């Protein structure tokens, strides 16, 4: 089928649906919802049999939905309407929520229903629910809708009189609805309010006399009791860039802030960085990665062992890895290497594996080119450390999505597994034609053909875990849920550590590294990549700096990139029956 995605952005959900539909053989083109006339033009060029709106902030133009079948995916249960669906579901403590596929009509989210898929709610941020439960349910809902469409069925009208229909029209959530009453709200309420607002818009609040939006909150189970006199809301401790604030019944870590009252554009940054000298008298309470604790807390890197397997977790916010984070992770990895284990499992975080160098920190630095250079070198040091590990076998277990250098970080491991729903963006070009490093010129050709490598890097398209495994980019994908993925990873890691052929596999790995090094040293790959990166960072062409500024500042797109808008490519229009996925194989 010829399908047009009409979407506000090519976000994670849109990318997942795109990979699912192209894998199923549909010809999908994408148009950003920028302007009604541009949308009409896209429809005229692509002549879609179906328009899908996975992520829209306003209603589809009348001239489009009246003449074309349009299915809108709304992140809410049947009957729910409004732009803050998940925000309200979290704040109201809903125990079950859902995704509904609706036929577009003149009213936002009010059309007839093609399918509605419910899921149990989890104590998690809005973005985490969106990237996991909402995304999985949206895939199911859209597939159900397509099946019903193929059978010639019609959508059913919404029946608000039906007592089973729990959803309601709810207004946009305002900052007043999100505001934390530090003297009244308990820890659970504070967490719910911040989670309902993460990653956007955050919860507005004052800290030490400055107004910020708060992001990424985690419960602290121990330290709150050590500051019994602290007024709720007070900053009582700091750790690795995060701040700990007292609540009425404990304390919460807040890792990121954004200034709201400044005249210049502002970005999300680590809390301690923005508070700076204001935290001079606030104690740092370190918690090293390997120290086991039995209470809820937050730390950016955690190491644990089970038998002969070491597990390294690095749930960096948004998967972004700044210079200091790469250095700390590299130190933790070296410590893991020195342990008498046989297998090291690199787990990233539950929502992201890694998205490469930290573009916000680079943007906020005094000298963006210098900081980019430091960051990519720190990232390369980490990747190298994984590649040259010769006493253990390593597993990259991607629980969440990965982009750019983050994908190549995973390829440094001996085995690369991904949760089945994971989306990879193994390319750098969208960030202002960045050449990329992380030893990708060594790691990618080890896994795919030169033609596939070229296509993956040039097409700039997302690759689903299934296709990534089929082309050999990763070794395998499994796990319909994060829990199922973890269970299987643990089983495979244990099996590898106790495999009768372990010594042989390790010997083969050493021999291969030795031969590779003799054929071309790792240092040569790195030097060549960094030579190109130096031009990106310090050269005459400022595309990378411009693209980064736009990305970090979330500057709205003024047109759809041509690699997504196939309808603007005459060759693609002629060949609409073949999918981009097929072309990329």
Which residues in this chain contact ligand COA in the complex, by CB under 6 A? Answer: 11-12, 199-200, 268, 318, 320, 355-360, 401, 403-405, 425, 428, 430-431, 434
User: Nearest approach, Cβ of 463 to ligand COA (angstroms)?
Assistant: 11
User: Residue 561 pairs with which residues in a beta bridge?
Assistant: none
Give the C-alpha distances (Å, rounded to integers) separating 109 from 61, 114, 139, 168: 14, 12, 18, 11
Q: Toward ligand COA, which CB reaches closer, 100 or 318?
A: 318
Nearest approach, Cβ of 183 to ligand COA (angstroms)?
A: 29
Least Å distance, CB 486 to ligand COA, is: 21
Strands (DSSP E) along 291-356, which ranges?
Answer: 302-306, 309-313, 343-348, 352-354
CB atoms within 10 A of CB 175: 14
Q: What is the DSSP letter of 125?
A: -
Closer Cβ to ligand COA, 341 or 560, answer by number: 560
Q: Is 425 exposed, middle or buried (0-12, 13-18, 19+ CB in 10 A)?
A: buried
Residues 6+ apart with CB under 8 A from 100: 73, 74, 76, 77, 78, 80, 109, 113, 115, 116, 117, 141, 167
Beta bridge partners of 97: 119
* Nearer CB in complex with ligand COA: 127/392: 127
> Measured from the CB of residue 475, what is the shortest distance to ligand COA in angstroms?
21
**What residues contact residue 418 under an 8 Å CB cut-off, 6+ apart?**
353, 397, 398, 424, 465, 468, 469, 474, 476, 477
Of residues 255 and 401, the one with the C-beta less far from ligand COA: 401
Instruction: Tell me whether residue 357 or residue 564 sits nearer to ligand COA (CB atom).
Output: 357
- Phi and psi (nearest 5°) for 353? -80, -65
Residues in the chain: 585
Tell me how far, at minimum, the Cβ of 361 lies from ligand COA, in Å: 7
CA 386 to chain centre: 23
Of 102 and 320, which has the nearer Cβ to ligand COA? 320
Minimum CB distance to ligand COA, residue 68 (Å)? 26
> Cα-flanking dihedrals φ and ψ of residue 514, to 5°?
-60, -45
In the complex, what is the shortest distance from the CB of residue 172 to ligand COA, in angstroms, rounded to a whole number?
18
- Is the dihedral angle over the CA atoms 328, 333, 334, 335 positive or is it negative? positive
Closer to ligand COA by Cβ: residue 11 or 543: 11
Can you list the alpha helix ranges (DSSP code H) found in 8-60? 12-23, 36-46
Least distance in angstroms from the C-beta of 199 to ligand COA: 3
> Shortest approach of ligand COA to residue 308 CB, angstroms?
33
Sequence-ordered list of residues with C-beta below 8 angstroms from that of 95, at least 6 positions apart, any chain: 120, 121
- The smaller minimum CB distance to ligand COA, of residues 279 and 434, is found at 434
Q: Which of 471, 479, 323 is nearest to 411 (CA)?
A: 471
CB of 543 to ligand COA, least distance (A): 12
Closest CB to ligand COA among 140 and 430?
430
**Nearest in space to 265 (alpha carbons), one of 370, 359, 365, 364:** 364
């Amino acid at each position: 089928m010829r399908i047009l995605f009409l979407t506000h952005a090519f976000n994670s959900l849109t990318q997942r649906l795109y990979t699912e539909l192209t894998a199923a053989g549909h010809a999908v083109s994408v148009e950003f919802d920028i302007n009604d006339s541009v949308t009409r033009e896209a429809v005229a060029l692509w002549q879609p049999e179906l328009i899908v709106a996975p992520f829209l902030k306003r209603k589809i133009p009348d001239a489009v939905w009246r003449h074309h079948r349009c299915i809108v995916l709304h992140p809410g249960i049947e009957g729910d309407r409004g732009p803050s669906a998940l925000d309200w579901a979290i704040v109201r403590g809903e125990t079950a929520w859902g995704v509904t596929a609706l036929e577009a009509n003149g009213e936002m989210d009010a059309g007839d229903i093609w399918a509605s898929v419910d899921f149990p709610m989890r104590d998690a941020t809005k973005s985490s629910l969106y990237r996991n439960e909402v995304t999985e349910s949206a895939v199911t809902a859209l597939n159900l809708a397509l099946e019903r469409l193929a059978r010639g069925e019609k959508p059913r009208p919404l029946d608000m009189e039906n007592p089973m229909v729990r959803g309601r029209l709810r207004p946009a959530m305002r900052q007043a609805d999100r505001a934390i009453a530090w003297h009244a709200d308990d820890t659970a309420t504070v967490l719910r309010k911040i989670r309902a607002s993460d990653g956007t818009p955050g919860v507005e609040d004052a800290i030490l006399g400055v107004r910020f939006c708060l992001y990424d909150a985690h419960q602290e189970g121990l330290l709150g009791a050590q500051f019994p006199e602290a007024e709720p809301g007070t900053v009582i401790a700091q750790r690795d860039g995060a701040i700990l604030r007292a609540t009425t019944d404990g304390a919460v870590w807040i890792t990121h802030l954004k200034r709201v009252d400044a005249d210049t554009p502002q970005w999300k940054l680590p809390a301690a960085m923005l508070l700076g000298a204001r935290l001079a008298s606030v104690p740092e309470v370190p918690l090293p990665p390997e120290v086991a604790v039995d209470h809820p807390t937050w730390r950016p890197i955690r190491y644990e062992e089970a038998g002969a397997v070491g597990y390294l977790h690095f749930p960096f916010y948004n998967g972004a890895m700044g210079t200091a984070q790469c250095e700390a992770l590299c130190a933790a990895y070296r410590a893991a290497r020195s342990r008498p284990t046989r297998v090291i499992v690199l787990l990233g975080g539950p929502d992201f594996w890694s998205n490469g160098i930290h573009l916000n920190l680079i943007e906020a630095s005094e000298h963006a080119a210098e900081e980019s250079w430091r960051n990519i070198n720190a990232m390369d040091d980490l990747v190298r450390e994984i590649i040259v590990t010769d006493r253990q076998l390593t597993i990259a277990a991607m629980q969440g999505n990965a982009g750019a250098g983050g994908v190549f970080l995973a390829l440094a491991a001996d085995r690369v597994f991904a949760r089945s729903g994971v989306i990879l963006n193994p390319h750098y070009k969208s960030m202002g034609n960045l050449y990329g490093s992380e030893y990708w010129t060594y790691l990618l050709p080890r896994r795919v053909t030169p033609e596939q490598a070229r296509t993956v890097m040039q097409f700039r398209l997302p690759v689903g875990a299934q296709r990534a495994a089929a082309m050999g980019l990763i070794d395998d994908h499994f796990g319909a849920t994060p829990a199922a993925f973890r269970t299987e990873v643990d089983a495979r890691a244990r099996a590898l550590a106790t495999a009768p052929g372990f010594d042989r596999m390790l010997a083969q790995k050493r021999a291969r590294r030795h031969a590779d090094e003799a054929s071309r040293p790792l240092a040569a790959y790195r030097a060549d990549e960094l030579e190109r990166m130096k031009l990106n960072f310090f050269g005459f062409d400022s595309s990378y700096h411009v693209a980064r500024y736009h990305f970090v500042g979330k500057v709205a797109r003024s047109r759809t990139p041509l690699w997504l808008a196939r309808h603007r490519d005459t060759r693609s229009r002629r060949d609409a029956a073949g999918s981009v996925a097929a072309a990329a194989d």
